[in-house]
Structure 1
Amino acid sequence: MKLVIPKMREAKRIKWVAYAAVMSLWFELSYIIIQAAKGRRSHFNFETPIENALYGLMGIGAFFLVLISFLVGIMIWRYGYKDNSGLRYGAIIGLIAGSVLTLIFAGFMSTDPTYIKQKLTLEASVIPYLGWSKVTGDYKPAHFVATHMMQLIPLIGMWLDKAKLGKKFSNLMGKKNATVLFAFIFITLAIALFVQALYGIPFIKS
């Protein structure tokens, strides 16, 4: 969090949330790896009492991971160095917007009974490697864009700061406007994919 002044980076309340996020990350990765090694799902798996309980804990852990991303975005906005860098604008927009949209989309995924009960076991019914449905509406594409917006928009901001082509682009519009434009594209795409899933339309039809 070098974009944030040291006094705020070292605040105890932020450290405790960060520790919770790190512990949550270790737990989630460990459980996902173990379930994958056993050939069983980690997500939306309620087949046994222990898997049901661990999936619930994964939801709590995911909340802490998104919460710390949201707080970092707020900290950069309120307590960061007030420079005119694309990285700063990208971090603020990407972390805040990405966190909010991720929580919304993940909330729908975790509470939609129809979605939870889907069993896409046939290879022809899903997009290879991604596992996105080709036969019905799927929240995962919207979730994917929203979550990775947290990394991609700050990277685009850095590209506007450092890369030759990025600098030319930012000179035309200004770094803030250019970053906002790219962020608007990602946010619009995420919402469009979410609405598509709500209407039961697959990302790509088989």
Structure 2
Amino acid sequence: MSAAATFDAAAIRSASPIAELRERQPALAAAGFAFLALFAVASALQLFDGRTLDGVSVWTKPAKFFLSTGVFLLTSAWFFGYVRPDRRDAPALRWSVRIVIAAGVFELGYITLQAGLGERSHFNRADAAHFWLYGAMGAAALTMLLTKIPLALEIWRRPVRGLDPTLRLAVVAGIALTVVLGALSGLYMSQQYGAGHNVGAVGGATPLFGWNRAGGDLRVAHFFGMHGEQLLPVVAALTTGAFGALGSRRLVIAAGVAIAAITVAVFAQAVMGQAFPLG
């Protein structure tokens, strides 16, 4: 590969990952790091505020959402570096950045407000206002996923010069998996007003994630569905040198199929009321 062909790819490299994220997409990077800082705050509040809701600290949900949304935004910021520089400020991408940040601030703001009040944000039908706000929060979450589509299209159509074709495939396929599987699992889960994300018996919780250990938990499928956009590029990065372009491409495709299959399998397991991973 010539020096000219690799110039654009090399130009997006900075002294540190944080600096590079800021260079690739400053607004998404700033919002993502802010959410990670608020994750630390919400985690610390669990040590000082003894209030609980459904058996866990009222600040557990905000902490989880600040972490997941921060990672979501930083992933998008990183992917902007795979778009040709002259296209990174295209109208569709510019509006997608504004919309995803606004939607994230609204969703996390409402979750945090409800935590401070000691009330549920999800599946709350106490009155018309709470029911409407829950629906608006769900719409914001879906909107955040849909903002990935213009980014994926730009990476596929107008990638930065020097971008490895297998990595491009992995990024675009990973985004597609996240949008489709994340949206479908999230929409189904959001409509379960009875037991919420739990199916069948409820009891115990897995370490870190807090998934139901006595019965099914729809959050498991949502988790696997949401992380294809991170997993497939990692597979591409780790395998290209060892297996060559063709071998790496096949492994990326196999990993994508595996993520989809696992997501469907754990969703079916949850719907049947069986606990993850062994029921």
TM-score, length basis structure 1: 0.81
Distance across 2 between alignment mates of 1:17 and 1:68: 5
> SS in structure 2 opposite 1:103?
helix
Which of 244, 258, 265 is the equivalent residue of 1:192?
A: 265
Quote the Cα distance in structure 1 between the aligned partners of 2:153 and 2:252: 17
**Identity across matched positions, percent:** 27
State the Cα distance separating 1:139 from its structure 2 match: 1.4
Local SS of the residue matching 1:36: helix
Q: Report the residue type matching 2:192 in the other structure.
A: D
Give runs of aligned pairs for residues 47-62 of structure 1, distance below 5 A: 47-62=126-141
Confirm or deny: 8 A CA contact 1:84 1:176 kept in the other structure: no
* Conservation of the 8 A alpha-carbon contact between 1:98 and 1:150: yes
Query: Of 235, 247, 250, which aligns to 1:177?
Result: 250
- Conservation of the 8 A alpha-carbon contact between 2:205 and 2:212: yes
- How far apart, CA to CA, are the structure 1 residues paired with 2:171 and 2:195? 32
Q: Distance in 2 between matches of 1:99 and 1:145?
A: 12
Match of 1:87 in 2: 167
Cα offset, 1:98, TM superposition: 1.4
- Tell me the C-alpha RMSD between the 2 structures: 2.8
Paired position in structure 2 for 1:164: none
In structure 1, what is the equivalent of residue 120 of structure 2? 41
Output the TM-score relative to the length of structure 2: 0.62
* Amino acid in the other structure paired with 1:151: Q
Give the SS at the match of 2:210: coil
1:137 Cα deviation (Å)?
2.5
Alignment of 1:108 with 2:188, yes or no, is yes
Report deviation, 1:74. 2.6
Cα distance between partner residues in 2 of 1:181 and 1:13: 31
Structure 2: give runs of 5+ residues left out of the alignment.
1-79
Structure 1 window deviating more from structure 2 (24-33 vs 42-51): it is 42-51
**Is 2:189 the counterpart of 1:97?**
no
Q: How many residues align?
A: 199
C-alpha contact (below 8 Å) 1:17/1:64 kept by paired residues: no
In 2, are the aligned partners of 1:109 and 1:115 still within 8 Å (CA)?
no
CA contact (8 A) 1:86 1:160 kept: no
4+ runs deviating over 4 angstroms? 117-120
Q: Shift in Å at residue 43 of structure 1?
A: 1.9
Structure 1 unaligned residues grouped into runs of 5+ = 162-166
